[in-house]
Structure 1
Amino acid sequence: MSTELLLRERKSLIRERLRTDGRVLAADLAREFKVSEDTIRRDLREMAAAGLCERVYGGALPIAPDAGSLSERAALAPERKAALARASVGFIERGMTVFLDAGSTNLAIARAIAPDLSATIVTNTPLIAAALMEKPGLDLILIGGTLDRTVGASVGARAQRDAALLRPDLCVLGTCGADADAGLTAFHFEDAEFKRLIASGSRSVLAAITTDKLGTAAPHAVIGIDPALRLVLEADAPKAQIAAFAAQGAAVVLAGEGAGRTPRHGNPIEITT
């Protein structure tokens, strides 16, 4: 059997492991295929360059799902995102200054905010600002600059200068991938940089995440999983993922027992270590 054929078969098996196990470790693959860890690391580098996985320390994760523009993403699984939004808006309290980052779930959160809530909402996302325009209780601040159409928000130098002046009580981050080891990640470099900046200046950070993003990674790191982070997850989030996040100290909130359904006790369930 040729070396090239062996390489193709090995990469095919690695892709299958990623589909079934959610992550692979270089040391485990080296033992399984009876090759060196350097060989496996080279395989993973080549697969990552081809967009087949995302390399992380010690191995690789499935690539985070990319569903297109913000408008396109907003049309996907609206009931699931609405359930996450209902579990998230309770953390937005009267008198707060809240930053709402770009994201289709965050757009659902904007729509779920009560019209009479007295708070200041800051966003870099025109679609989110439009959803908040007719809510008279809110003071609305829109961060400007060049609009990144793929992200659906302003994330460049002007937006970063404005964000550096903010100190929100709560930052609601959008994320492309989420993993206990890789943290929260994003597809676009400037978007990740903007997210890191606004999160670092906020008193607390929340991310509402659909289940398909769990255990995946995008190319650019945003923030790690730590006790300063609250994660709002769907009820069908894998228990192993919940336990891994909680082990890192993050507060985990389950949005209910199913997509769009009311939580059993009428409130989100908070799980902490």
Structure 2
Amino acid sequence: MHDIADCMTETPPTARRERIAQRLEAGQTVVAAALAGEFAVSEDAIRRDLRALAAEGRCRRVYGGALPLSPAVGPMAVRATQAMERKQALAVAAARLVTEGEVIFLDSGSANLALAEALPDDLGLTVVTNSVPIAAALMARPGLDLIVLGGAVNRTVGGVVDASAVLAVQQLSLDRCFLGACALSARHGACAFDAGDAAFKRALVEASEKLVLLAVTEKLGTRAPHRVAPLEAFEALVLEDDAPEALVAELGQAGARIVIA
């Protein structure tokens, strides 16, 4: 049963919902109160729209509104099979940043899984990771020393991000960290959906001399609820060659070096 305000508005509920979805797909955050005023309906009506869109997998609900989806949504086992060639291109570009004898951290993430396979064997690298898939990929690489953090595995993240993992990171001294992120923007920096994952990533930021982030184009200009690090904290952002010029310029102006794969 629709609210009286629904019947009074000139925009039918289905059309209104589609217009909201188009904004989300364009990377815009939506606020329920603002939408209610714009469409002359109640906030309850807008919340129903957002619940329906979330159920269809077209947005992520947050308090007071909704966020556009990031390609980081979904289990790691699924993400690892998506856009593989594009992530391999990012990985090849990122691997060139590594120098001899470094202790590097590969954070959980499908792009970093591709990077694990692209790392050279002849630089005497020590690789630390919290990721189960990354650790499995590196087990077959005798030219790389491997350290795996222990703890409870978060299947969506694809690795360990609990309190024991945070404590382990706090004892590390890392030359370079390839940080994973669910979303990236000039205003909000690198963000994550999961609170525990975000806390773990912040510990990595503190433990690392240099930070690098690999990001597919769909993550650019999006945001997630938990901030991890501002752009100026990164030595480099490795982006795809189809990244929109305006977004690339915004990211560069925030202080990070841009590497185009």
In the superposition, the TM-score normalised over structure 2's length comes to 0.81
Unaligned runs of 5+ in 1: 256-273
Q: 1:54 to 1:225 in 2, by over 3 A?
A: farther
Q: Indicate if the aligned counterparts of 2:213 and 2:234 stay in contact, CA closer than 8 A.
A: no
Q: How far apart in 1 are the matches of 2:67 and 2:187? A: 10
Per-residue deviation at 1:10? 5.5
Partner letter of residue 144 of structure 1?
G
Secondary structure at the aligned position of 2:174 is classed as: coil
**Structure 1 range deviating more: 125-134 or 77-86:** 125-134
Secondary structure at the aligned position of 1:76 is classed as: coil
> Which residue number corresponds to residue 78 of structure 1?
84
RMSD: 3.2
> Which residue number corresponds to residue 23 of structure 1?
28
Secondary structure at the aligned position of 1:161 is classed as: helix
> Which residue number corresponds to residue 271 of structure 1?
none
Q: Indicate if the aligned counterparts of 1:62 and 1:215 stay in contact, CA closer than 8 A.
A: no
Q: Indicate if the aligned counterparts of 1:94 and 1:117 stay in contact, CA closer than 8 A.
A: yes
Q: Alpha-carbon deviations, 1:34-86, whole Å to 9, x = none?
A: 98xxx99x969x94997435779xx9752323453222211111111110000
Per-residue deviation at 1:205? 0.5
Secondary structure at the aligned position of 2:74 is classed as: coil
2:198 is equivalent to residue 192 of structure 1: yes
2:167 is equivalent to residue 161 of structure 1: yes
Unaligned runs of 5+ in 2: none
Per-residue deviation at 1:227? 5.3
> Which residue number corresponds to residue 267 of structure 1?
none
**Structure 1 range deviating more: 232-241 or 69-78:** 69-78
Per-residue deviation at 1:116? 2.3
Q: Percent identity?
A: 40
Q: Indicate if the aligned counterparts of 2:50 and 2:66 stay in contact, CA closer than 8 A.
A: no
Q: Alpha-carbon deviations, 1:229-253, whole Å to 9, x = none?
A: 4110000011111011011111111
Q: Alpha-carbon deviations, 1:192-221, whole Å to 9, x = none?
A: 110111112211110101111112222222
Q: Indicate if the aligned counterparts of 1:115 and 1:134 stay in contact, CA closer than 8 A.
A: no
In the superposition, the TM-score normalised over structure 1's length comes to 0.78
2:116 is equivalent to residue 114 of structure 1: no
Q: Indicate if the aligned counterparts of 1:169 and 1:204 stay in contact, CA closer than 8 A.
A: yes
Q: 1:218 to 1:201 in 2, by over 3 A?
A: same
Q: Indicate if the aligned counterparts of 1:97 and 1:168 stay in contact, CA closer than 8 A.
A: yes
Q: How far apart in 2 are the matches of 1:171 and 1:86? A: 16
Q: 1:136 to 1:216 in 2, by over 3 A?
A: same
Q: How far apart in 2 are the matches of 1:165 and 1:70? A: 26
> Which residue number corresponds to residue 138 of structure 1?
144
Task: Give the counterpart of 1:129 among 124, 129, 135.
Answer: 135
Task: Give the counterpart of 1:210 among 210, 213, 216.
Answer: 216
Q: Indicate if the aligned counterparts of 1:48 and 1:55 stay in contact, CA closer than 8 A.
A: no
**Structure 1 range deviating more: 66-75 or 139-148:** 66-75
> Which residue number corresponds to residue 68 of structure 1?
74
Q: How far apart in 2 are the matches of 1:124 and 1:98? A: 12
> Which residue number corresponds to residue 225 of structure 1?
231
> Which residue number corresponds to residue 270 of structure 1?
none
Q: How far apart in 2 are the matches of 1:200 and 1:43? A: 40
Q: How far apart in 1 are the matches of 2:72 and 2:168? A: 28
Per-residue deviation at 1:148? 1.2
Q: How far apart in 1 are the matches of 2:164 and 2:142? A: 28
Task: Give the counterpart of 2:98 among 78, 85, 92.
Answer: 92
> Which residue number corresponds to residue 260 of structure 1?
none
**Structure 1 range deviating more: 208-217 or 127-136:** 127-136
